[in-house]
Amino acid sequence: MQSVTHDIRLLSDALTSVEQDAKGLRWAKDRPWKCASHIWEERDLPVIDLHDLSAGLTKKLLKNVEPIATELASGGVVFVTGVGRHSVGLPVLRRVVSGFLIRLERERGWRQRDVGGGRLLLVVDEHQIPEFWRSQTPSMAIWFFSFFVVALVWALQGPALLAVLAVVGFFVVRAIRRSAD
């Protein structure tokens, strides 16, 4: 798709300084971070793989993406943070990206979603995001929620059951309305 090619070119141009700085990382000879290998298109959306970057360069990358994000013809970008197997404690890159995207949600009204597999989606324009990415919710979350609701309905009776069903109904209606927009 032409818009994704435009977006990848735009992102690559904005991230050349990150690519240059990444050459100074101690693992760069074995695992270099390059725009050509770490930015690609997936299901009509640009994807930036943050593997092989430090937390500091990840912050720089995010700061370089922010000013051009509204120019992305596809309406957003996916950041691959991984699941943090090399992090001590909480996944470092995921924490950095999530914090940055939450700030963008508050300040700019953009949206962020966890789309599973160590990936976070930044949605700049909901109307331009390809259909595949619009309602992405990890399937594990859907299964957990469904199981939880079934267990609650089975365990509760009377007024408590009605309250739970009302709350579930509210969220179902809200999800249907969001998907219709």
pLDDT in tens, the chain (181 residues): 567 899 999 999 999 999 999 999 999 999 999 999 999 999 999 999 999 999 999 999 999 999 999 999 999 999 999 865 655 556 789 999 999 999 999 999 999 998 888 899 999 998 899 888 876 555 566 677 777 777 777 777 777 778 878 888 888 888 777 666 5
pTM for the model stands at 0.74
Print burial letters for 24-60: b (CB count within 10 Å at least 16), e (below 16). Answer: ebeeeeeeebbbeebbeeeebbbbbbbebbbeebbbb
For residue 77, how many C-alpha atoms fall within 13 Å in the half-sphere facing its CB? Answer: 32
Question: Beta strand pairing status for 76-80 and 39-42?
Answer: unpaired
| DSSP state, residue 118 | S
How much is the pLDDT for 159?
78
Residue of 141, 79, 133 whose CA lies nearest to 104: 79
What does the radius of gyration of the chain's CA atoms come to, in whole angstroms? Answer: 19
How much is the pLDDT for 52?
93
